[in-house]
Amino acid sequence: MSAPTQAVLFDAPGPRARRKILVGSVLAAAAVLAVLVLVVLRLADRGQFEAELWAPLVDPRTEEFPLVWERLGGGLLVTLQAAAVAVVASLVVGVLLATARLGLGRTARLPVVGLIELLRGLPVVVTILVVDTLFRTIGFDVATFWSLVVGLTLYNCVIIAEITRAGVLSLPRGQVEAGLAVGLTRGQVMRLIQLPQALRAMLPAIISQLVVILKDTALASVVLSGVDDLLRVADRLRITLDNPLQTYFVVAVVYIVINLVLDRFAQWLQKRLSRGRQGGRAARAAMAAGEATTGA
Amino acid sequence: MDAVTDNLDLWWGGFLRSLGIAAWAAVGSLLLGTLIAVFRVSPVPVLRSVGATYVTLLRNTPLTVLLFAIAFGLPPVGVNASFYVFGVVGLILYTAAFVCEAVRSGIATVPVGQAEAARAIGLTFGQSLGLVILPQAMRAVVPPVGNVLIAMIKNSAVVGAIGVGGDLFSVHNRLTSALGYSQLSSAAGMAIGFLIMTLTAGALLAVAERRMAVAR
């Protein structure tokens, strides 16, 4: 990505420009270093590097270490489960929504479009809370884990629907025409010809969406009680261990590592699919449709 | 819906407070995000890697973890502020990473030939950037940045949910716990408040996109 950007903004640097860039690099490096040193000094001054604050999290020899990581591991498992169930459910509902939107006539489509706009406009955290409240109001007595999963699904299925729609629309018209010409119905064309191609192209975009969903599971700690996800477990640990900065640092690292792995996987998949001309176009369209989502 | 209709003044206050969080975060994240985008496209390698590291770290951390780390992690090191300030700062830091990527993708849409032509007729770096590339990049940046800001408005709900006081979430909590209104109608009121914000922002963005659109 950065290569074409640079080509737009400046020429290949000559000797004078290279000298200027070198000076700029040295100054910038000094500034970055200075900030880092200030932060580290401040942290050291407040005793944030004391062994007792870090040891339970990073030193396997302490007696707390196995207990702490057993709990964090349990929390991580809940986080991964919620994300996995939500992404599969969003995929099923999202594809159905997209099919409905693409297949219905102009007026019949309106309720579907309205529903999509409604779910897109609500913050996920509000959707999760409303789902939980609704469950408890109608006496549907399930674990709050399912409020989280349903809330995440409602929010993300519309994004998957948009990704699917972009994937299907980016396929060449000839695919539909050929399908109709050999006597398939519109439904069969969608099911047998358009969706399989679109879904394949959508894979990278769906994995990127999984990153968003994984991050959003942390919202359970804000509005739901009884979901012991990674953040909730960490939140309890930091009260016991009295080391908020250290605990949240470790937890953030765990989230970042998992998300980076997923992200790299999505990029690799995207590159592989882009080798084929057709798949590449659909994959790019699907990726662009999901790109606006930042997650929380 | 009596929880909504009986307490319109409370809801209005909460709405304004929530809008305030989003407004501060919009200004802050646009400034910080653009700065980091400038870092990422600058000719200085150190700045480029600073920008890239920032985006990688912030994009992959859940906003909630960031907010908790700021609100509970900073006071022990002697940084004290209200939850409101902590919340807005966290939201700015998080959103800036996405603003940066949106701005960068906008700059990348300007065809290379534009810059080459600018250099060929002898414009300096500043002139070609200021007169040729940025005016075109600005237009291309509007849709992606607008989408990021709409997502940010939704994320501002998380800041409220963590408990800054006075926003739509705290109105909901007060109506249901202290005043005894039904959970569902109050939650619906809160949802309507956020919908007004996001749908209006979406409509504004659509208008802006139409006015900014150029034939290429």
Residues of B in contact with A260 (CB under 8 A): 56, 60
Residue A67 CB partners (closer than 8 Å, separation 6+): none
From CA A106, how far away is CA A102, in angstroms rounded? 10
Residue of chain A with shortest Cα separation from B43: A21
Q: Best of A1, A6, A9 to disrupt the B interface by mutation (most B CBs within 10 Å)?
A: A9
**Which residues 202-221 of chain A have a CB within 8 Å of chain B?**
211, 214-219, 221
Distances (CA, A) of B120 to A5, A11, A233, B117: 18, 11, 60, 5
B45 vs chain A: nearest CA distance in angstroms? 7
Average pLDDT along chain B: 87
By Cβ distance, the residue of A2, A137, A244 closest to B76 is: A244
- How many CB contacts within 8 angstroms connect chain A with chain B? 191
Scanning A247-266 for CB atoms below 8 A from B yields 248-249, 251-252, 255-256, 259-260, 263
Q: Tally the residues of chain B.
A: 216
| Tokens linked to B140 | 């291309």
Nearest 5°: the CA angle B187, A126, A165 is 125
Q: Does the distance separating the beta carbons of B114 and A137 come in below 8 Å? A: no
Q: What is the pLDDT of residue B87?
A: 93
Per-residue confidence (pLDDT) for residue A286, from 0 to 100: 76
Give the residue numbers spanning the domain of B205.
2-215
Give percent helix, percent strand, percent coil of chain A, each to the nearest 5. 80, 0, 20
Q: Which residue of A has its CA nearest to B130?
A: A9
Chain B: residue nearest A123 by CA?
B154
Q: Could B64 and A231 be called an inter-chain contact, meaning their C-beta atoms sit closer than 8 Å? A: yes
Contact yes or no for B62 and A216 at CB 8 A: yes
The distance of Cα A34 from the centroid of its chain, to the nearest Å, equals: 34
Closest CA to B125 of A140, A42, A75, A17: A17
Nearest CB among A46, A124, A129 relative to B187 is that of A129
Q: What residues of A are in contact with residue B25 (Cβ under 8 Å)?
A: none
Contact B47 A223 (CB under 8 A): no
Chain-chain contact of A221 with B64 (C-beta, under 8 angstroms) = yes
Residue to mutate among A8, A155, A208, A265, with most B CBs inside 10 A, is: A8
Indicate whether B166 pLDDT > 90. no
**Inter-chain residue contact B43 with A24, CB threshold 8 Å:** yes
| Alpha-carbon span A83 to A209, nearest angstrom | 10
Tell me the pLDDT of chain A (296 aa) as tens digits: 344 445 556 667 788 888 988 998 999 999 999 999 999 998 888 888 887 888 888 878 888 888 888 899 999 999 999 999 999 999 999 999 988 888 887 888 888 888 888 998 899 999 999 999 999 888 888 889 999 999 999 999 999 998 898 888 888 889 999 999 999 998 899 999 999 888 888 888 888 889 999 999 999 988 888 889 999 999 998 888 888 888 999 999 999 999 999 989 988 888 887 776 666 677 777 777 766 566 76
Which string of b and e fits B64-102 if b means at least 16 CB within 10 Å?
Answer: bbbbbbbbbbbebbeeeeeebebbbbbbbbbbbbbbbbb
Q: A285 is written with which tokens?
A: 């369209």
Chain B residue with the nearest C-alpha to that of A45: B77
Q: Å from B164 to nearest chain A CA?
A: 13
Q: How near does any CA of chain B get to the CA of A51, in Å? A: 16
Count of domains for chain B: 1
- What CATH number is given to the structural domain containing B36? 1.10.3720.10
